[in-house]
Amino acid sequence: MPDATYHPKVYRKQGGSEFVAASGGAITVESGGTLDVQAGATLNLPTGSVARAGLVEDALQIYGIPVPRLQQTTGIPLAASETAGNFNVAVAANVITAQGEVTDNETEVSVCQFQFVLPPEYVAGGDVKVRLPVAIVKTGAAVDNGSTIDVSAYKQSDAGAVGSDICATAAQTFAAVDTWYNKDFTITATGLVAGDVLNIVVTASIIDNEAGGGTLRLNMAPPKVLLDVKG
């Protein structure tokens, strides 16, 4: 039922855990029903905590990964300028994004990574997705020729070992340049539980098929991990 301490028909006994009906009639409860009481009746309401298993499950709740938490393939933070083979941090007009290498009539592969620990509220075996907000930004007359963005995911044991890639979604292409997309990648959640460590690797392969008249570059806003949770 609603917080009976403040219910207009109910008050708490001073120094106790019992609630007393101040007047007769119906008291609305959370389920939408009513509780009929007589004035002066004592209501013994349950106290204590609710086990997490008894909570309502919320599907695919979002956990953001700030761009400064992204790493180069060597494990160091992303640089503030273009670095071969890696994403870099870009700050402009109070906007912080990650960028792949500039691509001019070639293919450039840029990689970044981050580590994510499944939180206590994660439902064992529940859905896990990695969402990448991304766009290919064009200058001049550059032409996209099948550029892709991809995610690999590895569960790391306490002994520092990893198994095979558990990302079930293949590399994704772009329908248009200069357009932002949310690219979702499903992680195979079999056997995953709260506290598990996931190593996530993001790989952009940007292909410009035009000679010298412009460039393409992958821009990425903060990635997100989506989880089924309770609490």
Residues of the chain with CATH 2.60.120.200: 55-230
Cβ atoms 71, 114 nearer than 8 A: yes
Q: Is the pTM of this model over 0.85?
A: no
CATH of domain 55-230: 2.60.120.200
85: left (phi over 0), alpha (psi -120 to 50) or beta: left
| pLDDT tens sequence for the chain (231 residues) | 444 444 555 544 445 544 555 555 555 555 555 656 676 666 565 667 788 888 899 999 999 999 999 999 999 999 999 999 999 999 999 999 999 999 999 999 999 999 999 999 999 999 999 999 999 999 999 999 999 999 999 999 999 999 999 999 999 999 999 999 999 999 999 999 999 999 999 999 999 998 878 999 999 999 999 999 998
